[in-house]
Structure formats: C-alpha cells, structure tokens
C-alpha cells in the first residue's frame, strides 16, 4: 500500500524551492515549519531569535499566532535552559509540564494548548546562539529517537533559514 505522505526527498525539494522564493522573514520560517512538520508534526512550533545585547528573545514565527504572536518578546533568563542552549549549544528537552514549568514562566499557556513536552533546537553561527526552533507536543513526545530525527532533519535547514531571515 502506498502512503500519501511525501518522500523525504520531496519535502527537501519543496523546502529548497520555498526558500528560494521567500521574500520575507515570515515566508522563510513558514518554509522551515513545513519541512519540520512534514517529518515530525507537533502542536506548537515557533522560532525565537536572540539579541544578547538587548537581553531579549523575539518570537519571529508561530504556527499559533493567536496564543503566541510574532510580536512577542521576553527577557533572556539565565537558568538551566540558558546553560544548556546558550552556553553549551545543545538542545533542551523537557517531557513533562512540571519540567517545562521549571524554566518557562508561560508553562500554564503551554499546558492550555495541550502541550506538555518541548524541544528547543539551538541555531548557532559564529559561535553565538542566534535563534531557537521550538517544538511542543504531548507529554513524553520527544523520545531520544524523535530528538535524533529532528536534529538530523532541522539543524542545517534551521541554520540556513535563520541566516536567510537576517539577510532580508
């Protein structure tokens, strides 16, 4: 029986075409979102850019803009998340709402959206954290296998998307 899901190669080709056609930051991140969700669908998907000089993270893209508008900013807090993602440039994974609450003050909104796990994929260039791609879904969603797949699928495209968005 043949699947209706596009092949990984078709998804990659669409991403490349979408990136080539993108004229705005939103279009760039929409292309990355489509690539990501074609491989690993999630409930909430955002991109946060980082401005260390201002001490702010800015939401550059959200698939649920009513709950998480792209105009949103939040102060960068130096906590366990910061050490993992900013200092070590590693992905942060929390698979329960209690673990999310330890590092994200908006955990109640996250839970209200039906999410109880998160993966924050760092996007690093020049040795500096430039952005994070944030995927959220059900409790326990981010298994080691799924984290590996997301890392393999999104690391290079996320890097390209963040650099392309900065150039626009």
The predicted-structure confidence for 4-13, as pLDDT tens digits, reads as follows 788 999 999 9
Domain boundaries, the chain: 8-167
Token pair belonging to 57: 């993270």
pLDDT at 74 over 90: no
- Assess contact for 95 and 135: CB atoms under 8 A: no
pLDDT at 1 over 60: no
CATH superfamily of 8-167: GAF domain (3.30.450.40)
Give the up-direction half-sphere exposure of residue 83: CA atoms within 13 A in the CB hemisphere: 3
CB atoms within 10 A of CB 142: 23
Look at residues 131, 112, 11, 30 and name the one whose alpha carbon lies nearest to residue 67: 112
| d(C-alpha 15, C-alpha 11), whole Å | 6
């Amino acid at each position: 029986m043949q699947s209706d899901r596009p092949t990984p190669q078709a998804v990659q080709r669409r991403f490349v075409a979408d990136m080539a056609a993108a004229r705005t930051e939103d279009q760039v991140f929409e292309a990355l979102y489509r690539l990501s969700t074609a491989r690993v669908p999630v409930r909430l998907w955002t991109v946060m850019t980082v401005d260390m000089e201002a001490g702010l993270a800015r939401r550059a893209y959200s698939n649920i803009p009513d709950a998480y508008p792209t105009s949103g900013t939040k102060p960068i807090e130096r906590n366990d998340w910061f050490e993992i993602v900013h200092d070590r440039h590693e992905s942060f994974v929390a698979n329960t709402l209690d673990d999310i609450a330890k590092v994200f003050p908006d955990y109640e909104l996250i839970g209200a959206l039906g999410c109880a796990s998160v993966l924050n994929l760092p996007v690093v260039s020049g040795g500096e954290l430039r952005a994070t791609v944030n995927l959220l879904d059900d409790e326990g969603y981010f298994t080691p296998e799924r984290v590996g797949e997301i890392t393999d699928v999104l690391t290079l495209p996320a890097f390209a998307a963040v650099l392309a968005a900065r150039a626009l």
